[in-house]
Amino acid sequence: MQLLLTKARSGAQYDITHAVTKVEWSGSASQAARQLSIDYINAPYDNFDLPAISTGDLISFSYGQEGEVFYGQFFGSEKSSAVGTITFTAYDMMKNLLESHGQYNFKNTTAEAIAQQVCADAQIPLRTVNGVPSIYVTGVNIASMLCDDMSLYDIIMAAYTKAHRITGDKYFPMIYKRGLGVYKSEWIVKGLVLSDYDNLMEADITETMDQVVNKVKIYDDKGNQIGEVTDADSLSIFGTFEQIYKQEEGVDPTTAAQNLLAVTPDQTIQIKSVGDINCLSCYFVQVSDQTTGLSGKYWISSDKHVWENGSYTMELELTFDSIMEEVESSTEKEEEGKKS
């Protein structure tokens, strides 16, 4: 493990690994930007000659054979006269896309082209493999998408939401190796099984019906119902939980409505285990736990990796299936307002 601090103003670099007592590296499907929190020794009356951490400074975190797994910026700092440690938190470059806004009017383009244009305009580097950008190619033409003062992250996700409604595939963005990629939710952590016989410490399951949708009525742009999709089995067990879908240009309404169905209760699984650097949000992982009955492939909705006192553990929140953060463009919001 190595932590390198780079001062924003001077560019001077310091190895601060020895001065950090705890590291937390975390992310979630809902928050997008990954973060790194460190507990940094604060000894104002001792001559440890430790560099001060200031707002805007950069941090690189490397671990084992993976090399650098996080590179980000501190968005705040603190000074204290108390002896002990101070916690500092840095975010990766996804934070720039979340906090920056733009305005675009796209015509006859694709989600992948929109993502590349937005990143180029914001000077956010793309993750490349063998010279090819890791931006998932949907091949779906977007006839029109107006983005009026939207965050750059939302613009990218609005484009991939339009593709999702046609393909049914789910997509997620991630900063990795200092570059942005957009991926299809199909990646699995290879060569790892989290098992109560080996590396699994704790497992808990909670279940809720809050997100069940087993009937979707389809309406045209004039407010007339033109179709309906249902799941008979879910209706008979849980009763009716209904949503509506309003027809969009260039999107098959039946396919889009079917993609809104969520016919079984949500199960949230919390586990704690020996750490594995590859277990990240939006990946799948194999789990086998005899006590809870967990067995099979589960999707990581959030992860937290902790290094402290010579140990490395992780806490994961899992679900049975992947989910995607769907974002509406300004055009869709405007049309929704006219209809209501």
Share in percent of the chain as helix, strand, coil (round to 5): 20, 45, 35
- Residue-by-residue DSSP string for 208-271: E-TT-B-EEEEE-TTS-EEEEEE-HHHHHHH---EEEEE--TTS-HHHHHHTT-B-S-EEEEEE
Range 42-66 average pLDDT: 85
- pTM, two decimals, is 0.81
Residue 45, pLDDT score = 58
Q: Which top CATH class is 96-185?
A: alpha beta
pLDDT beyond 90 at 65: no
For domain 186-209+265-323, give the fold.
Phage tail proteins - horseshoe like beta roll fold (2.30.300)
List the one residue out of 249, 260, 29, 259 whose CA is nearest residue 140: 249
Task: Provide mean pLDDT across the span 56-79.
Answer: 91
The burial of 24, by beta-carbon neighbours within 10 Å (0-12 exposed, 13-18 middle, 19 or more buried), is given as: middle
pLDDT tens per residue across span 244-271: 999 888 788 998 899 889 888 877 889 9
Calculate what percentage of the chain has a pLDDT beyond 90: 69
Asked if pLDDT for residue 277 goes beyond 70, the answer is yes
Question: What confidence category does residue 320 fall into, taking pLDDT thresholds of 50, 70 and 90?
Answer: confident
The secondary structure element, H or E, covering residue 160 is helix 152-167
Q: Locate 210 and state its tokens.
A: 């809050």
Phi-psi region of 131 (alpha: psi -120 to 50; beta: other; left: phi over 0): left
What is the mean predicted confidence (pLDDT) over 80-92?
84
Can you tell me the distance from the alpha carbon of 340 to that of 332, in angstroms, rounded to the nearest whole number?
A: 12
Q: How many Å apart are CA 22 and CA 37, to the nearest integer? A: 8
pLDDT digits (tens, 9 = 90+) for 297-316: 999 999 999 999 999 999 99
Asked if pLDDT for residue 335 goes beyond 60, the answer is: no
Domain ranges of the chain: 2-91, 96-185, 186-209+265-323, 211-263
DSSP letter for 107, please.
E
Task: Report the alpha-carbon distance of residue 313 to residue 274 in Å, rounded.
Answer: 5
